[in-house]
């Protein structure tokens, strides 16, 4: 007997199709399967890349939190009407955008982002129960992450998204 899991299947439907006692068991099994698939054999590489991302994040945070003074076309610092120095907001905004990209790199590295295409898996229920459970869990988690990503995308106000082009390497 086979069952095709779709991205819109609920944990209840998955639990019924694969013989779990309840939807909680289906979700826990999906979470365990996803975690195992994401890191198995790649722990060292993941740690190295995360360390590099964190190093870049610290550098960019410094730029965001301490932007340079704005400079006039004549090369002189710019001051407001009260005589306070004016800081270059473009640098802070560019740094904020870069931080968002670094966050996305971390999400991608850890496999937390759902793919943008639909995935259909055919599972033979008579096969190894662990394989079936892992496939089921992947589909369930995929649907959950896609819904979460969509919710997060709707929360971002268009005015808060700034795209920049980074011309040089940090460091």
Write down the pLDDT at residue 166: 54
pTM of the model: 0.42
DSSP assignment of 60-87, as one string?
Answer: HHHHHHSPPBPB-TTSPBPB-TTSPBPB
* Sign of the CA dihedral with 49 first, then 51, 57, and 62 last: negative
In tens, the pLDDT along 136-170 reads 788 888 888 888 877 777 777 766 655 656 565 55
Cα gap 64→78, rounded to integer Å = 19
Rounded Cα gap, residues 56 and 58, in angstroms: 5
**Residue 26 confidence (pLDDT) above 80:** no
Number of H helices, E strands in the chain: 5, 2
| 46 has a pLDDT exceeding 70 | yes
pLDDT of residue 49: 85
Q: Report the pLDDT value the prediction gives residue 47, as an integer from 0 to 100.
A: 82
- Phi-psi region at 114: left, alpha or beta (left = phi > 0; alpha = psi -120 to 50): beta
Residue 1 has pLDDT above 50, yes or no: no
Render pLDDT for 117-132 as a digit per residue (tens, 0 to 9): 555 555 455 556 767 7
Q: What is the pLDDT of residues 86-122, one digit of tens each?
A: 998 888 889 889 999 988 888 887 777 665 555 555 5
Encoded tokens for 29 = 């099994």
Instruction: Answer whether residue 171 shows pLDDT above 50.
Output: no
Q: Which two tokens stand for residue 37?
A: 């698939």
- Domain map (residue ranges) of the chain: 2-160
């Amino acid at each position: 007997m086979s069952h095709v899991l779709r991205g819109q299947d609920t944990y209840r439907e998955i639990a019924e199709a694969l013989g779990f006692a309840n939807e909680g068991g289906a979700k826990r099994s999906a979470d365990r399967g996803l975690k195992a698939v994401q890191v198995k054999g790649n722990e060292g590489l993941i740690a190295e890349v995360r360390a590099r991302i964190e190093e870049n994040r610290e550098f960019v945070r410094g730029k965001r939190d301490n932007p340079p003074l704005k400079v006039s076309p004549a090369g002189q610092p710019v001051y407001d009407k009260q005589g306070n120095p004016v800081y270059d907001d473009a640098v802070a905004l560019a740094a904020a955008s870069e931080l968002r990209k670094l966050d996305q790199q971390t999400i991608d590295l850890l496999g937390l982002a759902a793919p943008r295409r639909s995935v259909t898996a055919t599972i033979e229920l008579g096969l190894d129960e662990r394989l079936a459970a892992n496939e089921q869990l992947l589909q369930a988690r995929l649907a959950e992450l896609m819904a979460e990503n969509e919710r997060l995308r709707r929360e971002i106000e268009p005015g808060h998204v700034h795209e920049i082009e980074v011309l040089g390497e940090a460091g």
